[in-house]
């Protein structure tokens, strides 16, 4: 899969627009979901993903072909989301993040999963951007904690403490 992706990237570098559209189709769904998960605004998510792909296209010569493409891509996406949020000065934290993480952990023994999911969705809205981003990267994009740390330029322990793990209580 990685070889196919690298071949695609080399084609883009050679000026193949169709290859770029293929790359977009590969990454668009999850990047839009990720950006939407962070901003909770579809129009903002679309703007962020647009800017991300434009930056990817223009800076592809800076991408190290020896490394996997996905973390490099998501680093640009997350930085773009952060920049966008900072520009819009969105600060809507109504609950302390630590309290929320405790709340998640207390809920993990709940047997009524549908109620639990709905509760969690409501609670996610209240998380700060960093913690919500960690959850999205882990559970939507299936990145490992080490990769998340690299993407967010955080210490891996900080990422670990942001994740909800069963057995903490």
Partner 1 sequence: MNSNQFDEQLKKSVNRYTNVNSELKRKTWEGISEELFIAPRRRKKRKRILVGSIASVATIALLIFGFMTETGQAMIQDIKELFVEEKNQEIELEGHKEEMKTQLETNEELRYIIYIDEDRYKLIEGQDGDRVEPKEPLGENYPEVYMEISKESGVPSGEIVKQIKTEIDKEGLEIVEEETVNNPISSTMLRGIGRESANELGKVGNQWDTPVHRYYVTEQENGQVFVIKQAYFLEAAEGHGARFNYMLESFKVVK
Do 23 and 9 touch, CB atoms closer than 8 A? yes
End-to-end CA, the chain: 39
* 42 binds partner 1, rule: CB under 8 A: yes
User: Minimum distance from CB of 135 to partner 1 (Å)?
Assistant: 6
* 61 binds partner 1, rule: CB under 8 A: yes
Residue 90, token pair as written in the block: 């969105």
Do 156 and 150 touch, CB atoms closer than 8 A? no
* 115 binds partner 1, rule: CB under 8 A: no
CB atoms within 10 A of CB 44: 18
- Sole binder of partner 1 in the list 136, 149, 152, 159 (CB under 8 A): 136
Residue 109, token pair as written in the block: 């023994």
* 50 binds partner 1, rule: CB under 8 A: yes
Interface residue list for partner 1 (CB under 8 A): 7, 10-11, 13-18, 20-21, 24, 28-29, 32-34, 36-37, 42, 45-47, 49-50, 53-54, 57, 61-62, 65, 108-111, 113, 116-117, 120-121, 124, 135-136, 139-140, 164, 166-167
């Amino acid at each position: 899969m990685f070889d196919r992706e690298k071949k695609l990237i080399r084609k883009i570098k050679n000026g193949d627009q169709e290859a770029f559209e293929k790359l977009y189709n590969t990454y668009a769904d999850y990047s839009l979901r990720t950006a939407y998960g962070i901003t909770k605004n579809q129009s903002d998510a679309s703007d962020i993903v647009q800017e991300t792909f434009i930056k990817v296209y223009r800076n592809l010569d800076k991408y190290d072909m020896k490394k996997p493409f996905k973390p490099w891509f998501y680093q640009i996406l997350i930085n773009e989301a952060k920049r966008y949020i900072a520009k819009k000065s969105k600060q809507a934290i109504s609950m302390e993040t630590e309290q929320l993480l405790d709340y998640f952990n207390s809920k993990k023994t709940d047997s009524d999963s549908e109620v639990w999911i709905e509760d969690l969705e409501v609670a996610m809205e209240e998380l700060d951007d960093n913690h919500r981003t960690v959850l999205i990267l882990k559970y939507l994009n299936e990145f490992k904690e080490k990769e998340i740390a690299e993407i967010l330029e955080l210490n891996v322990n900080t990422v670990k403490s942001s994740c909800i793990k069963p057995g903490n209580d």
